Amino acid sequence: MSIKWTTDSVPDQSGKVAVVTGANTGIGYETARTLAAKGARVVLACRSREKGEAAVARITAERPAGRAEFAALDLSDLDSVCAFANAFNRDNDRLDLLINNAGVMMCPESKTAQGFELQFGVNHLGHFALTALMLPLLRATPNARIVTVSSIAHRSGKMVFDDLHFATRGYSAMGAYTQSKLANLLFTFELQRKLQTAGAEMIAVAAHPGWTSTDLQRHTWWARMLNPLFAMSSERGALPTLRAATAADVKGGEYYGPDGWREMKGDPARVGTTETAKNLEDAARLWTVSEELTGVRFENL
């Protein structure tokens, strides 16, 4: 059966500037690679210089129509987020695509530089702060988009606002991951509501890769064991992100993922979420808490 929406479906990206976090491997790498092939200037914002520059070299070796660059960004340290944003804003006059792709998954208990639970800190708070700091440049760019990568795991997520960092309850690697992925959707939908209210031209959308084999799963033995049987490749797993980022018919607040059984595999299509992900009270509370924790606020929203 042929794939209905492929990298060939991505429209020309010439003249566009994109930032893809965590783009040295997995779906982030494939997203950056495709955008560069289609003519965009793509900044691979990664924690590891060695891995990021190696990814840039691989993309460059394919002689893309656009180009790829590396920039240091450690989402587990808000000082690094600020440094990246300040440098990017100083050196660039546009940003068409911000793709909040980087993440950690079901890792051992750990903290960010500012003391946040690592998965919530990287997957949500780091991207929340990054988006806020890049927002003026995004709003100054016609038809800009913010794409945040969530997961089918959001369906079992629960926001425990009284203990977001597992300080009093026992740490659960899965619980922390699903909470962070739910936060990605609550943030996206609240951001889109605020953008619409402010009359902004840009949109916020979300995507998830279904069951895709990536380095993200290095802490989960069952995923490594079952990936050869059930998982999609990174190239196919990146398609929902690419569709959300580039397709002409995408609207703000939409969510894209595979269209197959339980959204684990298939062609990229618009998909649904849990009612929990649409909870207006939780979205507003998460926004306020995120501003307080990061010390970063969204200008004019």
Taking CA atoms, 103 is separated from 24, 125, 144, 215, in Å, by 12, 11, 22, 10
> Are the beta carbons of 75 and 53 closer than 8 angstroms?
no
Select from 258, 256, 280 the least CA-distant residue to 267: 258
Q: Is 29 a catalytic residue?
A: no
Amino acid identity, position 297: R
Distance (Å, rounded) from C-alpha 123 to C-alpha 101? Answer: 8
Q: Can you read off the two tokens belonging to residue 241?
A: 């992100």
DSSP 150: -
Helix H, strand E, coil C: the string for 9-69 is HCCCCCCCEEEEECCCCHHHHHHHHHHHHCCCEEEEEECCHHHHHHHHHHHHHCCCCCEEE
- How far does the chain reach from its first CA to its final CA, in angstroms? 45
268-270/255-258 β-pairing: antiparallel
The one catalytic residue among 29, 177, 255, 256: 177
For residue 181, what are its two tokens? 């992925």
Nearest to 5 by CA among 246, 252, 255, 272: 246
Three-state SS annotation for 70-97: EEECCCCCHHHHHHHHHHHHHHCCCCCE
Which are the catalytic amino acids? 177
